[in-house]
Structure 1
Amino acid sequence: MEQILADMLAPTQVPYPVIFARLCGAILFGALIGVERERRQRPAGLRTHILVSLASAIFAVIAVESVHMASLSGPEVRIDPIRVVEAVTAGVAFLAAGLIVFSKGEVKGLTTGAGMWLAGAAGLAVGFGFWPIAAFASCASLAVLFILWRLEVALHWKSPEPSEGGQRVSKQN
């Protein structure tokens, strides 16, 4: 039983409170991006963006910790954390691609897919400990999503309100 507990509470390079803070940060930054998509009634909203960001952060923390694991430090073992970034990028891109549809001559879901990809990047940044990068990226995404959307509405490029199911309704003047 002691061995199991020792394995469950293995020492880490990054202290557990810092790891948990990073995971909470990934939840926060994923939520910041997801809340805008939720507000627009898009299929991938708050929960999806949080989960993508949180999963990405976990992969990043695992990558950092795996480099320092004694059992993986032999000369025959080569750990490359950049592979984690590549895997997360590919996985999130796969999810995001599933949101993009071509319907009635229009592409839909592209911005939501891009938001999920950004949530994954924010999660990776926090997981690797780059909080300022994740914070800046999340705030920049909100500026792009909120401010530019308002500009598009003001220029009459977009309708101000989505209809049921997340589709935009064109309003006649």
Structure 2
Amino acid sequence: MEWNFIWRLCAAGLCGTIIGLDREYRVKDAGFRTHFLVALGSALMMIVSQYGFEELLATHDGLRFDPGRIAAQVVSGIGFIGAGTIILHRQLVRGLTTAASLWATAGIGLAAGAHMYVVAGAATLLTLFGLEALTLFFGGLGRKRTLIVYSSGRREVIDAMFNKLKTSKYTVISYEIEPTRMDGATVYRATLVIRAKGIAEEEEFVNLLRESQDITVERIV
């Protein structure tokens, strides 16, 4: 029986690692180690939930319990880990897909822990399909928002760059300028949230920013 449980844990860990490698390739915060541990832990909770109290039931006649009660807590508990991968800044949201992949990985771990290997394998393939294939075919429909923070000592340079971004292939979602004093001089810092239009390359704005020698790019998220 113990070897059967170990195989379930291994199957869950393998499925989680496969999904995690995709997230690692995409340079996401939750990589293969996190997904491995989520799947492994979920499978362990399922095994304990189903078989951890057999001895107690055998020694107490009439005792009843719900075998899915512990496993059910994984569904709500994984939300704490998923929330840690989500970044919310102004009108910018990052990490929702990775949080969803962790949630799916927890379900795959539960399936493997319940000895449903075919279901766990199929769910792993479908998760990869959602992460990669759907992005390949429909990625242009869901252009991501990008936060850009750049600064310059001249206000006209800041405004000129804003006009380039606004009138080119990008939509400016929000725009804010904050003047600050630095070493006795005034520095203007602009914060923009933009999104590419149509078939425009999402990273073309980098070339626009490089064209100006008077601009310092502080952050791109």
**Preserved contact between residue 22 and residue 129 of structure 1 (Cα < 8 Å):** yes
Structure 1, unmatched stretches of 5+, are 1-14, 160-168
Q: Which amino acid aligns with 1:171?
A: E
Aligned CA-pair RMSD = 2.2
Question: Larger % of helix: which?
Answer: 1
Measure, in 2, the Cα distance between the counterparts of 1:93 and 1:77.
32
Q: TM-score when scaled to structure 1? A: 0.78
Shift, 1:148, TM fit:
1.2
**Larger-Rg structure:** 2
Count of residues in Structure 1 that have an aligned counterpart in Structure 2: 149
Question: 1:100–1:76: structure 2 CA closer, same or farther, 3 Å change rule?
Answer: farther
- The normalised TM-score by structure 2 is 0.62
Q: For residues 45-86 of structure 1, what are the alpha-carbon distances to aligned partners after superposition, in whole Å with 9 as ceiling and x for unaligned?
A: 10000000000001111112135x222342464321221232
**Residue 25 (structure 2) pairs with residue 39 (structure 1):** yes
**1:71 is matched by which residue type in structure 2?**
L
Q: Does 1:61 find its partner at 2:93?
A: no
1:74-93 equivalences under 5 Å are 74-75=60-61, 77-93=63-79
2:7 maps to 21
Residue 202 (structure 2) aligns with: 170
Question: How far apart are residue 170 of structure 1 and its match?
Answer: 2.9
How many Å separate the matches in 2 of 1:40 and 1:60? Answer: 30
For residue 36 of structure 1, report the CA deviation from its aligned partner: 0.9
Matched, 1:70 2:55: yes
* Amino acid across the alignment from 1:36: D
- Show the counterpart of 1:99: 85
User: Tell me, what secondary structure is at the counterpart of 1:140?
Assistant: helix
What stretches of structure 1 move > 4 A for 4+ residues in a row? 156-159
Asked if the contact 2:46–2:68 (Cα under 8 Å) also holds between the matched residues in 1, the reply is no
Matches within 5 A, 1:119-130: 119-130=105-116
Give deviations 1:106-135, integer Å, cap 9, x for gaps: 211100000001111111100011111111
Bigger CA drift: 98-107 or 20-29? 98-107
Once the two structures are superposed, residues 11-44 of structure 1 have per-residue CA deviations (whole angstroms, 9 ceiling, x without a partner) of: xxxx122111111101111011111111111111
Q: Which has the higher contact order (CA 8 A, sep 6+)?
A: 1
State the match for 1:7 in structure 2.
none
